[in-house]
Structures are given as structure tokens and as C-alpha cells.
Amino acid sequence: MKKESQKEESVLEKTEAHKIWNEIEHVDLHMFALTNQIVNMYCQPMFVEPNRLYMIFTVSSVLPALENALGKKFNFELNHKYIVVSRITNQF
């Protein structure tokens, strides 16, 4: 039983959505003029698609903070009540 759950966990961690979350969850955000504000304080991951990360957010001002902190590496879209994150790929 333990082996099966470890196997499922390792498969899940290999998806692009999980990799994105692992990269961004502890990134500092500049919000409300407070120090030590990080992504996982305002966003919770939802693993809907393997290539894109969906996040539920608690305050709407997290979207511009995410774009400011991570906009060079990731695309952020507001989709109803979710922020959808995908990796920017260079087409050159």
C-alpha cells in the first residue's frame, strides 16, 4: 500500500503543474508594504491540467504581485475564480 502511494506521488510531482507550484510557492511577493509575504499565503494550488497550474486566491491584488515577481518566467491569466499559470516558452 505504501509503495503504491509513493508511486502515485512521484508521477504527480512530474507534471508541469506540480513543477510550477514547487518553483513559485515560496517566492516573495511585494504586497501591502509588508515583509515576508509569499505566494502560498495567498494562493492554493488546484491540479486540474497537467501543463497548467490553477490556483485559488484569497485577495485579488495577488495577481499583479505575481506578475511583478514572476512575469518573466510565467504567464498568469485570471479565469473566473482561478489564476491560471503556465510557463513561458521561447519560440526563437
53 lies in a domain? yes
Closest CA to 82 of 58, 56, 51: 56
The CATH number of whichever domain residue 72 belongs to comes to: 3.30.1360.40
Burial 51-82 (b: 16+ CB within 10 A, else e): ebbbbebeeeebbebbeebbeeebebeeeeeb
Q: What is the pTM of this model?
A: 0.81
Segment 4-55, tens digit of pLDDT = 555 555 555 689 999 999 999 999 998 888 888 999 999 999 999 999 999 9
Range of the domain at 20: 2-87
Listed in sequence order, the residues at least 6 apart from 75 whose beta carbon sits closer than 8 Å to its beta carbon are 85, 86, 87, 88
92 lies in a domain? no
